[in-house]
C-alpha cells in the first residue's frame, strides 16, 4: 500500500510540475506573440503571369476575378505591383487596363514594379531610372481618385542594387520622387510552384497538381513560421509581416486556403501603410547584394548582427525538378 501511495504522490508531483511548465511556456509565448499578428499582402507582376498555353486575357480575367474575390472575402487590403509593359498589346490594351481598374475598384492599391521587369544587376543606374519613370504612367491615372496615397516601389526579383553606388543612387532617386521601397519578410517561391502547378494542370495530371498545391501551402506556412521565429532574434519581438506573392494561377487557386491558414495562426490583414508604420520597418537597409533576400535578412545584416538564417526553408527538390524541366 505504502509503495502505491508513494507512486501516486510521485505521479501527482510530476503532473503538477508539467502543468506549471506548460503555464510558464504559454506565458512566455504570449509575451512574444503580438495579439493579433498582422500581415500586409503584396502581389507582384500585375496584371498577370501566364505560364503554358491559352489566351493571356482569358486566363488573366479568370485569375484576377478569383484573387480579388478572395481578398474581399478575407478583407485583405493588398497592394498590387504592376509591370505596364504587359499592357502593351495592340489587340486588347484597354481590356488589360480594365484588369488593373478592377484592382482599384476593389479597394486595392497599385504600385510600381518597373515597366518591363528588368534585372537591376544587368542595368546601369540610368537605364533602371528610366524603367521606374515609365513604370506607373497608367497606374497613376487609375489611382487618381485615391489621392493622396503613398507611392510604393518594388524592385524586380527584389534586386536592390548589386553595388553600393547603384543601390544608393536608386534609393535616392526613388525617395526624391516620393516612393517608398517595399520590403518583404515572407516569400514562398510561388513562381516556382506555379510553373509545376500549371504544367500539371495542362497535362491533365490532377493528382500531381493537387500534390503541388498541398506542398505550396505547407511551404508557405514553413516560411511564415521561420519569419515568426527569426524576427524576435533581430527586433526582440515578432514584427508585422509582409508577404510577397504573384498574380498567377497558384495564387488564384490557393489564396483562399492560404489566407485561412494565416488567419488560423492569428493573423489580421492590414494595409502596407500600417505595416510600414511599425518601427522595425524604419530600419535602414544598407546591405548590398546581387541576390534578393527578405528584409529580415537585410535588416539583420544592416544592423551588423550575426543571425542564423540556415533554417529558412527552400522548396523541395521534386518541385524544383518540375520547375527546371519546363
Ligand atoms: Zn516581379
Query: What are the pLDDT digits (tens) for 42-71?
Result: 999 999 999 999 999 999 999 999 999 999
The answer, yes or no, to whether residue 235 has pLDDT greater than 60, is yes
- The confidence band for 12, taking pLDDT boundaries of 50, 70 and 90, is low
First to last CA, the chain: 73
Distance 43 CA to ligand 1 centre (A): 9
- The confidence band for 326, taking pLDDT boundaries of 50, 70 and 90, is confident
Distance 45 CA to ligand 1 centre (A): 5
Query: What are the pLDDT digits (tens) for 94-144?
Result: 999 999 999 999 999 999 999 999 999 999 999 999 999 999 999 999 999
pTM for the model: 0.90
pLDDT for 35 equals 74
Helix (H) or strand (E) holding 44: strand 37-46
Distance 196 CA to ligand 1 centre (A): 18
Distance 184 CA to ligand 1 centre (A): 12
The residue-averaged pLDDT of 209-223 equals 98
The residues whose Cβ lies within 5 A of ligand 1, an ion, are: 44-45, 156
Query: What are the pLDDT digits (tens) for 13-48?
Result: 665 666 556 555 555 554 456 679 999 999 999 999
- CA-nearest of 112, 125, 204, 171 to 298 is 171
Pairing label, strands 241-246, 37-46 = parallel
The answer, yes or no, to whether residue 9 has pLDDT greater than 70, is no
Q: Are 271 and 140 in contact (CB under 8 A)?
A: no
Count other Cβ atoms within 10 Å, centred on residue 303: 14
Amino acid at each position: 500500500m505504502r509503495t502505491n501511495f508513494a507512486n501516486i504522490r510521485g505521479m501527482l508531483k510530476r503532473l503538477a510540475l508539467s502543468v506549471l511548465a506548460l503555464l510558464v511556456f504559454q506565458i512566455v509565448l504570449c509575451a512574444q506573440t503580438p495579439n493579433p499578428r498582422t500581415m500586409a499582402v503584396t502581389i507582384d507582376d500585375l496584371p498577370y503571369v501566364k505560364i503554358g498555353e491559352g489566351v493571356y486575357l482569358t486566363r488573366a480575367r479568370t485569375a484576377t476575378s478569383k484573387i480579388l474575390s478572395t481578398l474581399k472575402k478575407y478583407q485583405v487590403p493588398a497592394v498590387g505591383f504592376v509591370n505596364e509593359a504587359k499592357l502593351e498589346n495592340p489587340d486588347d490594351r484597354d481590356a488589360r487596363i480594365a484588369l488593373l481598374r478592377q484592382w482599384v475598384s476593389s479597394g486595392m492599391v497599385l504600385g510600381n514594379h518597373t515597366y518591363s521587369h528588368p534585372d537591376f544587376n544587368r542595368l546601369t543606374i540610368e537605364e533602371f531610372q528610366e524603367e521606374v519613370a515609365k513604370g506607373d504612367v497608367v497606374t497613376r491615372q487609375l489611382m487618381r481618385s485615391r489621392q493622396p496615397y503613398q507611392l510604393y516601389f518594388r524592385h524586380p526579383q527584389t534586386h536592390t542594387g548589386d553595388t553600393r553606388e547603384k543601390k544608393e543612387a536608386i534609393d535616392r532617386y526613388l525617395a526624391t520622387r516620393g516612393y517608398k521601397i517595399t520590403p518583404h519578410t515572407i516569400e514562398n517561391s510561388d513562381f516556382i510552384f506555379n510553373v509545376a502547378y500549371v504544367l500539371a494542370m495542362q497535362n491533365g495530371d490532377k493528382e500531381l497538381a493537387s500534390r503541388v498545391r498541398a506542398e505550396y501551402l505547407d511551404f508557405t506556412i514553413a516560411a511564415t513560421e521561420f519569419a515568426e521565429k527569426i524576427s524576435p532574434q533581430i527586433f526582440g519581438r515578432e514584427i508585422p509581416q509582409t508577404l510577397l506573392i504573384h498574380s498567377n494561377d497558384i495564387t488564384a487557386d490557393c489564396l483562399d486556403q492560404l489566407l485561412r491558414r494565416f488567419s488560423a495562426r492569428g493573423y489580421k490583414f492590414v494595409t502596407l501603410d500600417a505595416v510600414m508604420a511599425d518601427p522595425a520597418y524604419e530600419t535602414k537597409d544598407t546591405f548590398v547584394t546581387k541576390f534578393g533576400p527578405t528584409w529580415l535578412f537585410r535588416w539583420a545584416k544592416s544592423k551588423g548582427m550575426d543571425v542564423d538564417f540556415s533554417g529558412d526553408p527552400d522548396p523541395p527538390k521534386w518541385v524544383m525538378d518540375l520547375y527546371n524541366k519546363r
